[in-house]
């Protein structure tokens, strides 16, 4: 067995820009992340924060005409940015597996689900047909599908949402990838099914020693599964730390506001915390200064950095900008009352 | 405690299954199969269930956009499943609905003014000026700028659109609003905004909500009483504290244990608990469901807590509950 390094994916200064009416706008702006073996890295953010953009940049599934990707995505010395399509096809599906949000949209409605999983094996391995069939049955067993032989012959519409997502997971892990990217894998599912799918992902990760990037907007899911967390706002990572630190000692105003707006507080009759304003759209995103500043107006401009950088405030805990030092929720209340 | 505004008695909504050469009705899908509950004036009543449990069908049946197969919906002491009664009582004015998907519930070709004014035009005779004042006032209530009336739905973000949906539902001064998953398409911070507005409006105008959702955290925040639905029937019904602190039916326990908790330190313990409940759920199907897989009828355990239990199952369940408490 070859020597395996702990670092699976090293993203440095990634910029992904989309073309909107002729001009390019950065949807992911200077993102630096690392994924380690045996870890689940969660990327959290609201819609429009650029979390899915990172996923599509890693796996190379973007419109090459209208997207500009710069920076480095290093996988075993191989830079995935600007890799040609022929080489990318060897990595994608084989070394990096992807699980999408909507299982119905990512399955071919006219093909038996078993054949769809076998297709991945056809392209990436030299198994014969019989071996592929056996492997698919094995995979179906692994992802907990009842009666795998029968399931092989079913079409996607014949399966329930939870089973469909299991097929997609079987497809993603068919070639034993080292990296699994799961983009909102449970958003379309009920809570009980969600719990099962998340357990399944954890089991797979433990067995195969892979690294998982879990993209989600659900802080509860993050708290239950992740090892490391990156919080994104308006295309930038605003805070990065291990999961315990993020929930027990969050520092960036955005992280704290988000946690505070969860309807889980013990005092049910109190109003939920509201973050003023809205997430800026890609075109209107401020390119200088702190992007979150507009939504915490009671903090004086002098508290923000002119060009906010990521700082390591304690070992392994990164926060963008210095405004967190003067951020308190009580100040907002005082202001609205005044 | 206010008095009851609406009473749902043994509500049934069946869809026929047709098959065979003559395409005759061979069986029914029992989407809602004998549901009983009542909502008090000015309270929020939560209705929880997974997809396919029949919670939305119940909501639609109450508003009157779903045909009722059997049972009664009593409003001011009159059964409103008959259309003539609905008209007499002005029921369609008093009961409004907020939909999950704000985009598809608004006509994309109409301006916000016309969208919000539509229910007013249906039920009231106002001059153009009066109507405009009323629309402005409604937009004010949900915190939207006044120039919004000249815009179209696509010009707003999801949260703003949902607030317009709230404004439209409030337009006729309703007594009851059916909110069918009003925030499940929204981001966390936007959801907080909409929920806060809904609460403020409720306090101001004494409106009752039937809050339909699959998100147990949101329902806990919003409602005083709630019911949990499974396979078209209610499995547990009671006050918020009773249900969240002392769930009795295995299905309720399973739902509650599946909610992701923001408690990183205890996540292993939480997972173990979830697996234990899941195991119990799969093992003891016969204890909680009858031979056809249906949920048992509700039985009273304590005055404000009803659970679907088999005949004579109450004592055993209470005993078990006490044992659990002692072991804690």
Chain A residue whose CA is closest to B52: A190
User: Which of A6-10, A35-39, A301-305, A328-332 is predicted least confidently?
Assistant: A328-332
What is the model's pLDDT at position B131?
Answer: 93
Does residue A17 lie in a domain region?
no
What does the pLDDT look like over A2-59, one tens digit per residue? 445 688 999 999 999 999 888 899 999 889 999 999 999 999 988 888 888 999 999 9
Q: Identify the pLDDT of residue B14.
A: 93
Would the pLDDT of A213 be above 90?
A: yes
Q: Taking residues A67-95, what's their average pLDDT? A: 89
Distance CA(B163)–CA(B145), nearest Å, equals 12
Is B44 near chain A, with CB under 8 Å?
A: no
* List of chain B residues whose C-beta atoms are within 8 Å of the C-beta of residue A218: 260
* Angstrom distance (rounded) from CA A68 to CA A18: 7
What is the tens place of the pLDDT at every residue in A61-71? 888 889 999 99
Reported ipTM: the value is 0.81
In DSSP terms, A74 is beta-bridged to: A10, A79
Minimum Cα–Cα distance from B194: chain A residue: A274
Secondary element (H or E) of residue A182: strand A179-183
For residue A331, tell me if it sits in a domain. Answer: yes
Residue A227 vs residues A48, A100, A270, B242: alpha-carbon distances, Å: 24, 21, 32, 34
CA distance A45 to B134: 38
User: What residues of B are in contact with residue A247 (Cβ under 8 Å)?
Assistant: 262-264
Residue A1 is given by DSSP the state: -
**According to the model, what pLDDT value does residue A110 have?**
94
- What pLDDT is attached to residue A1? 40
Q: Which of A192, A184, A141 shows the shortest CA–CA distance to A166?
A: A141
Regions of chain B where pLDDT drops below 50 = none
Chain B nearest-CA distance from A268, in A, is 5
Q: Has residue A72 been placed in a domain?
A: no
Helices B128-141 and B188-205, packing angle to 10 deg: 120
Q: Residue A99 — pLDDT band, cuts 50, 70, 90?
A: very high
The yes-or-no verdict on residue A332 having pLDDT over 90 is no
Q: Which residues contact B166 (CB under 8 A, 6 or more apart)?
A: B98, B142, B182, B194, B197, B198, B201
In a domain, A273, yes or no: yes
Domain of A293?
Answer: 251-278+289-337
- Which pTM value belongs to this model? 0.86
| pLDDT one-digit tens code per residue, B146-176 | 889 999 999 888 888 998 999 999 999 999 9
Number of residues written out for chain A:
338
Residues 6+ apart with CB under 8 A from B42: B2, B202, B206, B207, B208
Strand partners, B227: B47, B237
Is B203 in CB contact (< 8 Å) with chain A? no
Altogether, the residues listed in chain B come to a count of: 328
Whether residue A152 lies inside any domain: the answer is: no
Predicted local distance difference test score (pLDDT) of residue A338: 45
Q: Is there a contact between A190 and B214 if contact means CB atoms under 8 Å apart?
A: yes
- Range A147-156 average pLDDT: 92
Distance from CA of A267 to the nearest CA of B (A): 8
List CB contacts of B142: < 8 A, sequence separation 6 or more: B163, B164, B166, B167, B197, B201
Query: In this predicted structure, what is the pLDDT of residue B300?
Result: 86
Q: What is the DSSP letter of A66?
A: T
Q: Could you write out the three-class secondary structure of chain B?
A: CCCEEEEEEEEEEEEEEEECCCCEEEEEEEEEEEEEEEEECCCEEEEEECCCCCHHHHHHHHHCCCCCCEEEEEECCEECCCHHHHHHCCHHHHEEEECCCCCCCCCCCCCHHHHHHHHHHHHCCCCHHHHHHHHHHHHHHCCCCHHHHHCCHHHCCHHHHHHHHHHHHHCCCCCEEEEECCCCCCCHHHHHHHHHHHHHHHHHHCCEEEEEECCHHHHHHHCCEEEEEECCEEEEEEEHHHHHHCCCCHHHHHHHHHCCCCCHHHHHHHHHHHHHHHHHHHHCHHHHECCCCCECCEEEEECCEEEECCCCHHHHHHHHHHHHHHHC
Query: Residue A269: its pLDDT value, please?
Result: 65
Q: A200 CA to chain B: closest CA distance, Å? A: 12
Task: Please enumerate in sequence order all residues whose Cβ is within 8 A of that of A210, keeping only pairs 6 or more positions apart, or say none.
Answer: A8, A37, A38, A176, A177, A178, A179, A180, A204
Is B68 touching A (CB cutoff 8 A)? no
The pLDDT assigned to A286 comes to: 83
Tell me, yes or no, whether A230 lies in a domain.
no
Angle between helices B158-170 and B188-205 (to 10 degrees): 10
On whether residue A299 sits in a domain, the answer given is yes
Average pLDDT of chain A to the nearest whole number: 88
The per-residue pLDDT for B2 is: 65
- Decide if pLDDT at A320 tops 80: yes
Residue B214, chain A, CB below 8 Å: the answer is yes
Task: Say if A313 falls within a structural domain.
Answer: yes
Domains recognised in chain B with CATH numbers: 4-245 (3.40.50.300), 246-328 (no CATH)
Q: Is the Cβ–Cβ distance between A41 and A212 less than 8 Å?
A: yes
The structural domain count of chain A equals 1
Helix (H) or strand (E) run with residue A189 in it:
none
């Amino acid at each position: 067995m070859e020597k395996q390094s702990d670092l699976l994916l090293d993203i440095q200064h990634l910029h992904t820009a989309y073309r909107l009416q002729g001009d390019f706008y950065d949807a992911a702006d200077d993102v630096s992340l690392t994924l380690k073996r045996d870890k689940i890295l969660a990327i959290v953010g609201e819609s429009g924060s650029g979390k899915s953009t990172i996923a599509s940049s890693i796996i190379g599934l973007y419109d090459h005409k209208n997207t500009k990707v710069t920076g480095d995505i290093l996988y075993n010395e191989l830079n995935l940015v600007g890799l040609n399509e022929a080489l990318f096809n060897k990595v994608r599906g084989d070394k990096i597996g992807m699980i999408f949000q909507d299982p119905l949209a990512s399955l071919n409605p006219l093909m038996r689900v078993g054949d769809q999983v076998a297709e991945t094996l056809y392209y990436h391995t030299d198994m014969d047909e019989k071996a592929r069939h056996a492997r698919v049955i094995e995979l179906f067993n692994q992802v907990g599908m009842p009666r795998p032989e029968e399931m092989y012959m079913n079409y996607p519409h014949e399966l329930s949402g939870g089973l469909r997502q299991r097929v997609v997971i079987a497809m993603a892990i068919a070639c034993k990838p080292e990296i699994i990217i799961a983009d909102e894998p449970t958003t379309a599912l009920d809570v009980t099914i969600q719990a099962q799918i998340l357990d399944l992902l954890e089991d797979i990760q433990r067995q195969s020693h892979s690294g998982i990037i879990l993209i989600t907007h659900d802080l509860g899911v993050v708290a239950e599964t992740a090892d490391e967390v990156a919080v994104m706002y308006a295309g930038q990572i605003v805070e990065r730390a291990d999961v315990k630190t993020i929930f027990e000692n969050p520092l960036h105003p955005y992280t704290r506001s988000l946690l505070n707006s969860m309807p889980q507080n013990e005092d049910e009759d109190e109003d939920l915390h509201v973050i003023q304003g809205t997430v800026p759209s890609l075109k209107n995103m401020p390119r200088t200064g702190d992007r979150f500043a507009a939504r915490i107006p009671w903090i004086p401009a002098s508290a923000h950095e002119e060009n906010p950088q990521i700082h390591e405030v304690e070992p392994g805990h990164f926060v963008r900008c210095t405004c967190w030092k003067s951020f308190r929720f009580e100040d907002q209340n005082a202001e609205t009352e005044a | 405690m206010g008095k009851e505004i609406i009473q749902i008695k043994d509500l049934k909504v069946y869809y026929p299954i047709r098959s065979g050469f003559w395409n005759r009705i061979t069986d029914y899908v029992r989407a809602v199969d004998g549901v009983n509950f009542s909502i008090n004036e000015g309270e929020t009543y939560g209705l929880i269930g997974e997809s396919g449990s029949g919670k939305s069908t119940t909501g639609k049946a109450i508003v009157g956009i779903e045909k009722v197969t059997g049972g009664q919906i009593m409003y001011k002491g009159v059964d409103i499943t008959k259309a003539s009664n609905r008209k007499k009582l002005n029921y369609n004015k008093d009961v409004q609905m907020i939909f999950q998907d704000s985009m598809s519930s608004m006509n994309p070709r109409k301006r916000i003014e016309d969208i919000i004014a539509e229910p007013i035009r249906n039920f009231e005779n106002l001059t153009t000026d009066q109507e405009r004042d009323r629309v402005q006032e409604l937009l004010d209530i949900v915190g939207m700028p006044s120039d919004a009336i000249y815009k179209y739905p696509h010009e707003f973000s999801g949260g703003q659109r949902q607030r317009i949906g709230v404004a439209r539902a409030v337009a006729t001064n309703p007594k009851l609003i059916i909110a069918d998953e009003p925030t499940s398409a929204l981001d966390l911070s936007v959801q907080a905004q909409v929920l806060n507005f809904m609460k403020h409006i409720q306090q101001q105008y004494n409106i009752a909500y039937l809050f339909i959702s699959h998100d147990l955290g949101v329902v806990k925040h919003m409602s005083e009483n709630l019911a949990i639905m499974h396979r078209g029937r209610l499995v547990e019904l009671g006050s918020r504290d009773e249900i969240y602190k002392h769930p009795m039916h295995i299905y309720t326990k399973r739902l509650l244990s599946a909610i992701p908790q923001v408690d990183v330190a205890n996540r292993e313990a939480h997972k173990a608990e979830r697996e234990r409940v899941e195991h119990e759920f799969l093992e003891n199907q016969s204890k909680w469901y009858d031979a056809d897989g249906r949920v048992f009828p509700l039985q009273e355990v304590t005055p404000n807590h009803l659970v679907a239990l088999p005949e004579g199952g109450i004592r055993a369940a209470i005993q078990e509950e006490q044992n659990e408490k002692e072991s804690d």
